[in-house]
Amino acid sequence: MKRFFILIAATLLCVSVSAQMKDFSYKFYGRVRTDVFYNSRHNVESVEGAFFMYPKDVQLDANGEDLNAVSNSGDFIFCTRLGLDITGPMLFNAKTTAKIETDFGGFSTSVLGNFTTLRIRHAYVNLDWGRSSLLVGQTWHPLFGEVLPSIVNLNTGCPFQPFSRSPQLQYNYKFSRFNIKAAAVFQNQYRSSGPLGSKMLEYSRDAVMPEMFAGIDYRKEGFIVGVGADVLTLTPRTQSTKGELTYKVSERNVSASLLAFASYSSEWWKLNAKTIYGQNNVHTLSLGGYGVTSIDPVTGAYDYVNFNHSTSWVNVVYGKKWQVGLFGGFTKNLGTNKPLVSSSMTYGMGMDIDKLYNMSVQTDYNIKNFTIGVEYSYSVADYGTIQTATGKVTNTHAADNHRIAALCNYSF
């Protein structure tokens, strides 16, 4: 560990010298963050329980006891991060900036000794011509956007608020108080699901076509309102086996999502809201997916249909030094536009959930660059049976979770 910090210090020194020689300027920033949490049951989550999404379904044992009705708790510090903002010389008549940001979340504690693995959060170059700009690299997915909840939980409102950092080409054009955004997005850490397994890059790579986003927003004196549209193209399979024969197939699944958002901020108030009518947004850690609607009798090739989901959230925060906040999120499965071959031939996240909702209350204490906060959240998932005729979920039962989260954050 000592050698690691010596290496970092030496690297920063080299960067400093190089920056001065080549007319670069830089600014380091970061945070040291500790999170503590308690859950009343097992949940669908990631990053060793730090990133909560929704309660797991009821699973009864031989005595009728729910195997997932087990409380748990944890403490983690790997959200500590370090970033570097770089400003460089003019290039193509544009101001040049770059960002590199990392944290220690690229690991699994199931691997002994693998507790401090660095991962890339953001890494991009931005060319700014004043009215227009071009970003090349990895940053927040356009569906994540600039309007997001201000909460204690690490998940930033997920799965109601889309969450993903993705490689992309992003173009912005400003006129008057409007900003137009267009982006070609590629998958990396956050991936789609499909018939070959979940979280595989092949689905998006074999499609060739990147995910496309377009949006527009209006800004005025602490107020933002905007809309956007997103189209994702996947190639779930390139070959199919029918009996003892294997065929090359050309499968395609195209999904679309629409979103609207609004934000208002003043000295004492922060109000944020977002609503999405979406299809197959698993790669943004949202509920959804797709299923097989027909099978070719000769080659076994699949035709697909998307599940439609409506998701909305609202967040209100009041105060400055002492803050109190409320968050509410709701997701509803609206079914499919065509019948499914089988409920087992569906691919995504939370496919057997009819609706999911969360209610949270929090309080924070902020002084200069130091924050402590605590939050209570109540989440309910209504699980049931997927109806092949409509894709909707019926005969539901609830699984709920009580979560308490606390943080201590020092920013610099």
397-412 confidence digits (pLDDT tens):
999 999 999 999 999 9
Contact between residue 375 and residue 150 where contact means Cβ atoms under 8 Å apart: no
pLDDT over 90 at 127, yes or no = yes
Residues 168, 173, 176, CA angle at the centre, nearest 5°?
A: 150
The mean pLDDT of 127-150, rounded to a whole number, is: 97
Quick one: pLDDT band at residue 316, thresholds 50, 70, 90? very high
The mean pLDDT of 139-143, rounded to a whole number, is: 98
pLDDT over 80 at 113, yes or no = no
pLDDT over 80 at 2, yes or no = no
Cβ-based neighbour number of residue 142 at 10 Å: 26
* pLDDT at residue 105 in the model: 78
Q: Is the Cα dihedral 157, 284, 224, 330 positive or negative?
A: negative
The mean pLDDT of 391-396, rounded to a whole number, is: 98
pLDDT over 50 at 19, yes or no = no
Quick one: pLDDT band at residue 115, thresholds 50, 70, 90? low
Residue pLDDT, tens place only, 370-391: 999 999 999 999 999 999 999 9
Instruction: Single out the residue of 253, 254, 162 nearest to residue 215, CA to CA.
Output: 162
Residue pLDDT, tens place only, 215-248: 999 999 999 999 999 999 999 999 999 989 999 9
pLDDT over 50 at 82, yes or no = yes
- In a 13 Å sphere around the CA of 270, the CA atoms on its Cβ side amount to 15
pLDDT over 90 at 199, yes or no = no
* pLDDT at residue 16 in the model: 52
Rg (CA), the chain: 23
The mean pLDDT of 98-103, rounded to a whole number, is: 96
pLDDT over 80 at 200, yes or no = yes
Residue pLDDT, tens place only, 346-363: 999 999 999 999 999 999
Interacting residues of 234 by C-beta distance below 8 A, sequence separation 6+:
192, 194, 203, 204, 207, 252, 253, 254, 255, 280
Domains and CATH numbers, the chain: 35-75+124-411 (2.40.160)
* pLDDT at residue 47 in the model: 73
* pLDDT at residue 253 in the model: 98
The mean pLDDT of 329-348, rounded to a whole number, is: 98
The mean pLDDT of 152-171, rounded to a whole number, is: 97
Q: How far is CA 266 from CA 57, 176, 177, 315, in A?
A: 41, 22, 18, 14
Quick one: pLDDT band at residue 5, thresholds 50, 70, 90? very low
For tokens 């789609």, the residue is: 192
Contact between residue 398 and residue 381 where contact means Cβ atoms under 8 Å apart: yes
pLDDT over 50 at 27, yes or no = yes
Q: Report the share of the chain in percent with pLDDT over 90.
A: 86
Quick one: pLDDT band at residue 4, thresholds 50, 70, 90? very low
pLDDT over 50 at 1, yes or no = no
* pLDDT at residue 81 in the model: 95
pLDDT over 80 at 321, yes or no = yes
Tell whether pTM > 0.85: yes
DSSP 40: S
Mean pLDDT, rounded, of the chain: 93
Contact between residue 261 and residue 147 where contact means Cβ atoms under 8 Å apart: yes
- 159 upstream amide cis, omega within 30 of 0: yes
DSSP 58: P
